[in-house]
Amino acid sequence: MNLRDSAERLVRASAFERFLISAAALFLSIAVGFVLILAAGRMTTCGTAATSFFGVGFCYDPITVYDRLFLGAFGNVFTDPLNGQFATTLSETTVLMFTGVAVAVAFRAGIFNIGTQGQLVVGALATAVAVLAASPLVSGLLGTLLLVPFGLLVGAVFGGAYGAIPGLLKAYADANEVITTIMLNFVATSVALFLVQDHFADPESAATQTVPLPDYAVFPSTVFRPRDDFSLLAFLFAVAVLVGIYVFLERTSFGYDLRTSGIQPEAAEYGGVDAPRTVVASMALSGALGGLGGAVYVLMILGNFQTGVPSYGFDGITVSILAGNNPLGVGFAALLFGVLKSGSIVVDVGTDVPPQLVGVLRGLIILFVAMPEFFRMIGRRVWTFEDDSGPQPVTDGGSGGERDE
C-alpha cells in the first residue's frame, strides 16, 4: 500500500473508525508515557521508591501519575459532584469550546486563522472596559440580565472586527493569513498591555489589570460555588454556540458556500460564490467566536481583564484539529484539553513528578491523538479522491449512468 492509498483510506474513514483510531492513539501515548515515567524515575534519586517492577524500584509511579492526570481532574465527583477541581476542568473546557470552534470555522473555509489568541484578548479587554463603564447604570438581577449579554455582544463585535482585518488583507491584498494573524496576536497583546497600564489600570492593585467588575455584572455561579470561577450558564451557552455553528455550517446556504470554498475554492467561485466576501465573513465570524471566548473568560473566570492571558487561542488550534473541524466534536476535544490542564495541576500538587515531565506527558497525548486528524486534513487538501461507485456526473454531450459503448 503506497502513501496515496493510505491517505485515501484515512480520508474516507467513517466517524466510528476515526474514533477507534483516536482511542488507539490515546492508549499508545499512555504506553509511551508509561515508559518515560519509569525511565525518569530510575534517573532520579529518592529515599523510598514509589513503585517497583520485576524487583527494580522507581521514584515515580506511572499508574498514580495517570490516575491523577485523568481522574484527578474530576475531583471526588461521586461524593462531591460540585467540587472545585471539577469546576476548574469545566471552566477550562468552556473557554476552549469558543476558541476551538473559532479555529474550526476558519479551517472549514480553507483559511488558517492562527490569530484566535489575539481576537480573544481584544474581545476580553473590550468586554471588561465596556461592562465596567455600563455597570453604574443598572444593578441587581436586572444588571445581570442586561450586562452579561451586553458584555458577550461587545466581545463578539470587537473580536469579529479584529478577525476581519486579516480577512480583508487576504481577500483584497492577497496577504498570507498565517503571517498576518500571527503578527496581529503580538499587536493585540502589546496594545492591551499599553491600554491597561496607561488608561484602564486598577489604581488599588499592583497587578496590570482593570478595575474588578461588580458581582451582578458577571455570570452567576448558579450550582457551583462563586470561588470556583465557573458558571453552568456559561457552559450551556458554549454548548448552544457549538450546536448553532454546526447547524449554520451544515444547513444554511452561506454555510454551504463557506464549506465549498474550503474544499474546492475554484469550483465554488465558478459556481457563483463571492470568494472575497466569503473570506472576510469567515474570518469575521471566526474572530467573533474568539472574542466571545474572551468575554466568557472575563465574565466567568476573572471578573476583570488581566495581562498575561493563557494561551486559549493557540490551544484552540489543536482542539479544532482533534475534532476534525467539526463544531460538535469541538466540545469533546475541549473536554479532553480541560481534563489535561486541570489534571496537570493535580499531578503537580499530589506527586513529586516535575512539571516538565507532566508537560511532556500532556504533549504526547495531544500529539498522538491529534496527528491522525491532522494527516487526514492534509490528505484532503493534497489529493482529490474520486468516488468510483454510483452514477457518473452529467457532462456536456453525455448523460449520467453507465457509458454507452
Q: Print the SS3 string covering 218-258.
A: CCCCCCCCHHHCCCHHHHHHHHHHHHHHHHHHHHCHHHHHH
Q: What's the pLDDT at 13?
A: 67
Highest mean pLDDT among 230-239, 248-257, 364-373: 230-239
DSSP SS3 for 213: coil
pTM of the model: 0.87
Q: How many CB atoms lie within 10 A of CB 126?
A: 25
Tell me, what's the pLDDT at 397?
A: 39
Is a pLDDT exceeding 50 seen at residue 221?
Answer: yes
Among 287, 298, 282, which residue's Cα sits nearest to residue 150?
298
396 confidence band (pLDDT: 50, 70, 90): very low
> Can you spell out the DSSP letters for 42-79?
HSS--SS-SEEETTEEESS-HHHHHIIIIIGGG-STTT
Tell me the average pLDDT across 143-148: 95
353 pLDDT above the threshold of 70: yes
C-alpha span between 180 and 174 (Å, rounded) = 11
Give residue 92's pLDDT band: very low, low, confident or very high (50, 70, 90): very high
Which one is predicted more confidently, 260 or 166?
166
Residue 401 has what pLDDT? 43
Q: What is the DSSP string of 159-184?
A: HHHHHHHHHHHHHHH---HHHHHHHH
The residue ranking higher by pLDDT, 264 or 246, is 246
Q: How many CB atoms lie within 10 A of CB 349?
A: 9
Mean pLDDT of the chain: 87
273-308 residue pLDDT tens = 788 888 999 999 999 999 999 999 999 999 999 999
Rounded Cα gap, residues 332 and 289, in angstroms: 18
